[in-house]
Structure 1
Amino acid sequence: MDNNQMIVQLRKLRQRREDHARGVVAVHQARVSEARQNVEAASQMLTEHLQRAIDEQNAAVSGLANRVVKATEFHMAQSRYEASITKAGQIQAQGEAAVLVQEQREVGLAEAQRRHVQSRKALLKLEKLADQIEKRAAPRHAAAAELLDDEGRLPHASQKQ
């Protein structure tokens, strides 16, 4: 295998690696986007839950105000409040887990982007090398073509004489 063929093969290999790295980055970007959506959804769910809990508590307190309250009614209102707080804690924990997942995926994306940049640099370096070799070889190819052209003319000149 001569140098030109080797460079062509290396160029193909580097191009495949760069394409693969680009694909990996795209997958990581999609996963980061999904994680961001999950964080946003958890945050919105927590906000909605807390607003419902506040509304329910306001309604419960309004229902208990200005009248005699039985202990069972008070305990039921307190149980609903505690259940609501527990549910809010669970939703908040889900949100925190989603944030951790998002951070991990962003780290993975950064690494994939770094690899993609490296493969792109390697491809560009190989392209520059190939261009340099072609520029250096151009005078030789021109000289070889000229010699072949001259050799092609010599037999015709001897046949005419």
Structure 2
Amino acid sequence: MNSNWMIAQLRKLRQRREDHAHGVVAVHQAKVVEARHDVEAASQMLAEHLQCAIDEQNAAVSGLANRVVKASEFHLAQSRYEASLTRAGQIQAQGEAAVLVQKQREVGLAEAQHRHAQRRKALLKLEKLADQIEKRTAPRRAAAAELLDDEGRLPHAPHKP
């Protein structure tokens, strides 16, 4: 009985650990999805910025073509181009940072999944042990129940002094 109680307590503990590990995996999965979304958003933002910059540069060059250009107009177009290039670099850096965060979160997810698998394996091992003990003690319990049943059917003979 004492060993059965201890196994039941171990089973509860292992089940709680496995449930907690499962919850941690779910949190990590959500973080990975969020990081992937951030990477996609940064990539889309960079693509949109580059397309807008290309359109602006094409408009600026076509406005300067086939006419005499003042130096101030040329410098203004050049400063806009440099500002656009700087902004593209910033967006690209944000995208690279988002990729690093995503990779870190994926590593965290892999570790959490590994811990969850270990906890699940430990729980299954304990369940297997409990089943083996149950199989071993079943014949003993059946024999004990049969003995008690036989004792209950026997008439009690009076003792002779």
TM-score bucket of the superposed structures, by smaller chain: over 0.9
Equivalent residue number for residue 64 of structure 2: 64
- 1:158 equivalent to 2:159? Answer no
- 1:76 equivalent to 2:76? Answer yes
CA deviation map 1:100-137 (0-9, x unaligned): 00000000000000000000000000000000000000
Equivalent residue number for residue 94 of structure 1: 94
- Percent of aligned pairs with the same residue? 85
1:148 offset after TM fit, Å? 1.0
Q: Could you tell me the TM-score, scaled by structure 2's length?
A: 0.96
| Number of equivalences | 157
Distance (Å, rounded) in 1 between the aligned partners of 2:121 and 2:99 = 33
SS at match of 1:158: coil
Equivalent residue number for residue 24 of structure 1: 24
CA deviation map 1:10-58 (0-9, x unaligned): 0000000000000000000000000000000000000000000000000
1:150 offset after TM fit, Å? 1.0
Which residues of structure 2 form unaligned runs of 5+? none
- 1:108 equivalent to 2:108? Answer yes
Distance (Å, rounded) in 1 between the aligned partners of 2:5 and 2:53 = 72
Give the letter aligned to residue 158 of structure 1: H
Which residues of structure 1 form unaligned runs of 5+? none
Runs of 4 or more consecutive aligned structure 1 residues displaced over 6 Å after TM superposition: none
1:66 offset after TM fit, Å? 0.5
1:158 offset after TM fit, Å? 3.4
Distance (Å, rounded) in 1 between the aligned partners of 2:55 and 2:152 = 98
Farther-moved stretch of structure 1 (25-34 vs 145-154): 145-154
Distance (Å, rounded) in 1 between the aligned partners of 2:96 and 2:19 = 35
Q: Could you tell me the TM-score, scaled by structure 1's length?
A: 0.96
Farther-moved stretch of structure 1 (114-123 vs 142-151): 142-151
Equivalent residue number for residue 44 of structure 1: 44
Distance (Å, rounded) in 2 between the aligned partners of 1:153 and 1:22 = 54
Give the letter aligned to residue 68 of structure 1: V
Equivalent residue number for residue 3 of structure 1: 3
Give the letter aligned to residue 64 of structure 1: L
Equivalent residue number for residue 54 of structure 1: 54
State the Cα RMSD in Å: 1.0
Equivalent residue number for residue 147 of structure 2: 147
